[in-house]
Structure 1
Amino acid sequence: MRELNLTGNKLGNSVNLLSDVLQNPHCKLEILWLNYCGVTDESCAALASALRSNSSHLRELDLIGNKIGDLGVNRLCAVLKDPHCKLEKLRLRDCGVTDEGCAALASALRSNPSHLRELDLTGNKLGKSGVTLLSDLKDDPHYKLETLDC
């Protein structure tokens, strides 16, 4: 299986079960949609842990409409910092992210600039400073970020 779309399913803490599958070295999932699934910052921890242990295949992660907030984003940043991470698209629209989450994302992208090409933060509580941090990365030719939606 290369794509898994669980959009609209109320997974909540069942993300922990999904994380067990993602940790499996035989898992070759490239695209994962978990939009409006009730993912929280706590279940984000399990997801991030799984992706850190097997991050070499996932190219696209959608978490639109989940209230993961800055804490969940910080947990995902550990994945983005991993040099084995191949994530190219990350969609965090309407996830309760603030400037603190933007700062964490910017830091993670600076430490591993080679893959993320698309970042969607539309509908979050971003201030000018957070948007500026990420816009600067988008405008810098050393980073691959091509699309930034805020």
Structure 2
Amino acid sequence: MKSDDVPSATSFPSGSPESRAMIAEVSRAWSLVPRHYSVMVRRGGRLVASVQAWPDGDAWWIGRLMVAVDHRRRGVATALLRHAQAVATSGTTHIRLNTGAASRINLRFYESEGFTAGPTNGDGMATLSKHLLPDERAHRSDGPPRT
């Protein structure tokens, strides 16, 4: 799997029957739980990547971003993170997520995507935030596509 196999921040991939099947699966996953969104990428029935997102006031939270070890270093996490941000609902002023405060790899990844780490809480988690500029807020919709 390559980054082209997961939804990008601006559009779903097209082309092969396999990509079209994945698009249908992703679209269904987005609509499973109102106001809480999940993308699950499967290959051969195996879950190989996922991300969740949900609104909380004017914040859009992203969580449970994961990519199977044998599918890493191909841009999949970046594509999923960007897609989860792109489908934030209207009224979102900032995006937040939590990760392990000791996970230097995760912290570097999120910081490279424009997130800023805040203080570490007592359970070893760091909250990172990304504030949206007014023009970024203007392009928000009512969330991910529904099927």
Do the structures match in fold with TM over 0.5? no
Instruction: Identify the structure with the greater helix proportion.
Output: 1
